[in-house]
Amino acid sequence: MCSAARTFMASFSVCVRGLFPVVWLALQCKQRTTHVYGPGILDGRHFRYNERKGKLWNETRMMLNFAGSAGGDVWGLTVVNPNFRLFDKVVSGSRMTMFRGMGWAANNGGGHFEFNTSARDSFIRSTDDLIKVRGGNIVTENLVLWQSYNGGTFQFGWAGLHLVNITHRTASVIENEWRAPEVWETYDTRPNNAVVSLVDTNPADPAQLAGPFVWQDLQIDGDVSHPLSLHLENGFLGNMLFDGLTISGKVTRFAFATAVEGSATIANVTFRNFTIEGKLISHLDDPAFRFHHAG
Ligand SMILES: *[C@@H]1O[C@H](CO)[C@@H](O)[C@H](O)[C@H]1NC(C)=O
Ligand SMILES: *[C@@H]1O[C@H](CO)[C@@H](O)[C@H](O)[C@H]1NC(C)=O
Ligand SMILES: *[C@@H]1O[C@H](CO)[C@@H](O)[C@H](O)[C@H]1NC(C)=O
Ligand SMILES: *[C@@H]1O[C@H](CO)[C@@H](O)[C@H](O)[C@H]1NC(C)=O
Ligand SMILES: *[C@@H]1O[C@H](CO)[C@@H](O)[C@H](O)[C@H]1NC(C)=O
């Protein structure tokens, strides 16, 4: 069944095809598994941005919203100029393929990927956390990512830091627009601004980030202020593998920070076939690596 509707409440399989920019368009899928197929465009350009948190639109209302549903596959859809995130929670069992998301305004990020979800063959330009994980058995493959001035491209952090088994294969980060903090605790930008980011905001709930967390063939174009910024206050993060990490430009800093007073451990992080500016990095103290550990 195909439909092009304004706020769309669906309880059956749906395909959206050939939509052209439409005012106030959103897809909200409830209860049953709902698939969205086709090269349609969801365009929120006429959204009144300052009402995002007001009565008409708020943070639970997004362009593509699976919250409260059994999820479903998204294949081929484009979301542009969203009011808030480019897509909401990617509910367990859901798969995104050939998705394109283009957000320019603040918080035009991605939703949380839950247990057993994937994103493949997609392009996303985001102004907030882009691939944000909240579970295990998550796979991404063939992503082209453009990170604007805010957010982590691969975000581990913020809440519910109990994660296992996440694989990212073949990702190109073609842009990252934020700039580096000069000193770990004195930011000229926010602490989540890194290609791979962890912000532990709830140290009362010790992290159990057991992995394995694998990045295979991650390419970052140009200079990058923070390829990794992992700041753990309490708990464990380990078993990360970067297999084929290629950074074409310069790096400001790779940063790991663990709490001085808490008990935080970051262990078993492996870099294999790792180049910066075409030079193979083989030691922590290689000057091009700019590795920093605090705490
Ligand atoms: C936000 O939207 C949801 C879903 O439509 C609604 O239930 C809630 O009351 C709204 N909240 C505010 C503060 O407007
Ligand atoms: C994962 O999701 C797929 C649908 O994408 C489903 O067929 C499969 O049963 C799920 N696996 C688990 C372990 O939940
Ligand atoms: C890890 O996740 C992948 C993708 O969902 C799955 O195929 C694999 O069985 C999982 N491995 C373990 C050990 O659970
Ligand atoms: C280190 O992490 C890798 C995954 O990156 C895992 O395969 C390996 O078993 C881990 N080693 C130890 C000693 O835990
Ligand atoms: C190293 O990584 C590059 C880029 O991903 C890849 O083309 C090359 O085959 C890798 N080399 C080895 C020895 O794995």
- Residue 200 · residue 234 · CB < 8 Å: yes
Residues 107, 178, 225, CA angle at the centre, nearest 5°? 140
Nearest residue (by CA) to ligand 1, atom 3, is: 60
Tokens in use for 78? 């484009």
Confidence (pLDDT) at 182: 53
From 293, 269, 141, 140, select the one nearest 209 (Cα to Cα): 269
Residue 132 and residue 90: Cα distance in Å, rounded? Answer: 10
Confidence (pLDDT) at 143: 98
The answer to whether the CB of 239 is under 6 A from ligand 4 is: yes
Q: Is 285 exposed, middle or buried (0-12, 13-18, 19+ CB in 10 A)?
A: exposed
Instruction: Give the Å distances, CA to CA, from 203 to 152, 190, 256.
Output: 20, 19, 16
Bridge partner list, 57 = none
Bridge partner list, 243 = 216, 272
10-residue block means of pLDDT along the chain (295 residues)?
Answer: 31 35 50 86 80 61 77 93 89 96 90 96 96 97 95 92 97 88 51 91 93 98 93 94 98 85 90 97 93 83
Residue 117 and residue 9: Cα distance in Å, rounded? Answer: 22
Residue 128 and residue 169: Cα distance in Å, rounded? Answer: 21
- Residue 34 · residue 48 · CB < 8 Å: no
Residue 141 CA, distance from chain mean position: 13
Mutate to test the pocket of ligand 1, among 7, 60, 88 (most ligand atoms within 8 A of CB): 60
From 114, 115, 83, select the one nearest 101 (Cα to Cα): 83
Tokens in use for 282? 């083989």
Confidence (pLDDT) at 29: 60
pTM above 0.85, yes or no: yes
Confidence (pLDDT) at 262: 76
Confidence (pLDDT) at 295: 73
Q: Is 48 exposed, middle or buried (0-12, 13-18, 19+ CB in 10 A)?
A: exposed
- Measure 287 CA to ligand 1 centroid, in angstroms: 51
Report the atom number in ligand 2 closest to the C-alpha of 94: 5
